[in-house]
Amino acid sequence: MVTISKAKKTYSTIYGAVALILAMVGTSAVIAQEQAPVQPQQEIRQDFEKKELDYFLNANLKINEIQMETQSEMMKVIEKEGISVEKFNEIASAQQNPDSTAVEPDPKEVESFQKAAEKITGMQPAIEERMVKAVEAEGLDVETYQQIAQAYQQSPKVKGELDQLIKEKQAQRADTLDQP
C-alpha cells in the first residue's frame, strides 16, 4: 500500500496532462462537491474510530482507481473528437483565464473541444455515482469520508493516525508476501 501523499504525487505526475479536465468537470472532487468551503472558525472533526479510518483508506484506493479509469476514458473521448489532450487543456485554460495571452485557437479545434467537453460533462453523473457507491461499499457515508479527507489535510492528529494505519497495513502486507 502506498501512502496517501505518495499516491497523490504519483497520481498528479502520471495524470497531470488532464488535470484541467478534472477541474473543469469536477471529477477529482466529486465526493467533496457537496461540502461547503471550510471556514477558519469551523471545527474539524478529529475523533474518528480506527475502523472509520480503515474504511476511508479502502474507499480512497477505490476512488483513486475510478479517477484513473475516468481520466483514461476522458483522454479517449478527447482524442476521438480529433484534438490532442494538450490542445484540449490549452483551450480549457484559455477559457478559464480569458485575460491570458494565449493564441486564439482554430475554430475547428474549438468545435472539437466543445464536443469533447460536452461528452465529458455528460459522463459526470455516472462517475459521481460510482464514487459514492465505492465509499458506501466500504462502510462509510459520504459525509464521514469528506470529514476524514478534510481532517487529513488540516489535522496533524488525524494525519498521524492515518499514516500509522498505512504503515501497519504495509507491514501486514509485507508479512503476508514473505510467507510461503
Q: Which residue bears the cell 475547428? A: 108
Instruction: Count the alpha carbons within 13 Å of 142 in the hemisphere toward its beta carbon.
Output: 13
Angle among Cα 177, 179, 180 to the nearest 5 degrees reads: 110
| % of the chain with per-residue pLDDT over 70 | 74
Contact 91, 48 (CB under 8 A): no
> Cell numbers of 142, please?
459520504
Label residue 60 by pLDDT band (50, 70, 90). very high
State residue 70's pLDDT score.
95
Q: Note the pTM of the prediction, 2 decimals.
A: 0.68
User: Furthest-apart CA pair in the chain: how many Å?
Assistant: 62
Closest to 44 measured CA to CA, from 145, 124, 132, 147: 147
Least confident of 62-76, 81-95, 130-144: 81-95
| % of the chain with per-residue pLDDT over 90 | 58
State residue 174's pLDDT score.
80
Label residue 47 by pLDDT band (50, 70, 90). very high
State residue 23's pLDDT score.
38
State residue 102's pLDDT score.
63
State residue 8's pLDDT score.
37
